[in-house]
């Protein structure tokens, strides 16, 4: 499916919004879907899903330290992600390794493999390139956007 660049009204074929806040909610949901879809296209070339990529990024953030499943979960953007299952698929592709924690036998610790590091580096380069091409926004606008999103969630 081809996704052309369109305003929200065109994208969802509606201009009946209760108010600006209602429109903003739909705009956030649509923009999130748009971002994920664009990124997924690039990641697919590396055989990765958006969520698998997210887990790998988190592992890279601590590399070469090992990190347990719970600590990955609490760093996920979507908190209800089922991390053990995402890891299952990364293990099959030999991009990460599972091991028992030496400190707590309940925990499983995960590490990127050499192959995982390589795939992550290559895919990250493609993703960054896509973002540079796709997202046309000044740094000040991005800062303002961050401010407004935090305000919306009531964190200030």
Q: Contacts with DNA in 3-42 (CB under 7 A)?
A: 33, 36-37, 40-41
User: Binding partner of residue 107 among DNA, a second copy, none, CB under 5 to 8 Å per kind?
Assistant: DNA
Choose among DNA, a second copy, none what residue 32 binds, the Cβ cut-off being 5 to 8 Å by kind. Answer: a second copy
d(CA 2, CA 139): 29
Between 101 and 143, name the residue whose CB sits nearer to DNA: 101
Residue 65: DSSP 8-state: S
Site string for a second copy, 75-114 (x = CB under 8 A): xxxxxx----------------------------------
**In sequence order, what are the beta bridge partners of 68?**
109
| C-alpha count within 13 angstroms, C-beta hemisphere, residue 75 | 16
Strand order of the β-sheet with 67-68 is 67-68, 108-112, 96-100
In whole angstroms, what separates CA 86 from the centre of its chain? 13
Residue 41 site contact among a second copy, DNA, none (CB < 5 to 8 Å, cut-off depends on kind)? DNA
Sign of the Cα pseudo-torsion (75, 78, 84, 85, in order): negative
User: Residue 63, interface with a second copy (CB under 8 A)?
Assistant: no
Q: How far is the CB of 82 from DNA (least distance, A)?
A: 4
The label of the residue with tokens 């740094």 reads 139
> Where on the chain is the footprint of DNA (CB under 7 A)?
1, 33, 36-37, 40-41, 44, 49, 51-52, 68-71, 73, 78-89, 98, 101, 104-109
């Amino acid at each position: 499916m081809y996704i052309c660049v369109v305003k929200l009204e065109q994208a969802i074929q509606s201009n009946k919004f209760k108010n600006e806040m209602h429109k903003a909610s739909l705009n956030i949901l649509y923009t999130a879907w748009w971002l994920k879809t664009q990124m997924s296209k690039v990641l697919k070339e590396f055989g990765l899903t958006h969520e698998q990529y997210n887990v790998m990024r988190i592992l890279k953030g601590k590399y070469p330290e090992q990190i347990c499943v719970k600590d990955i979960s609490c760093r996920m953007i979507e908190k209800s992600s089922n991390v053990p299952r995402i890891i299952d698929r990364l293990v099959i592709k030999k991009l990460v390794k599972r091991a028992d924690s030496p400190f707590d036998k309940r925990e499983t610790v995960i590490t990127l493999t050499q192959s995982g590091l390589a795939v992550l580096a290559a895919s990250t380069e493609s993703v960054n390139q896509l973002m540079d091409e796709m997202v046309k926004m000044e740094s000040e606008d991005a800062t303002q956007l961050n401010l407004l999103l935090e305000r919306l969630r009531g964190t200030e």
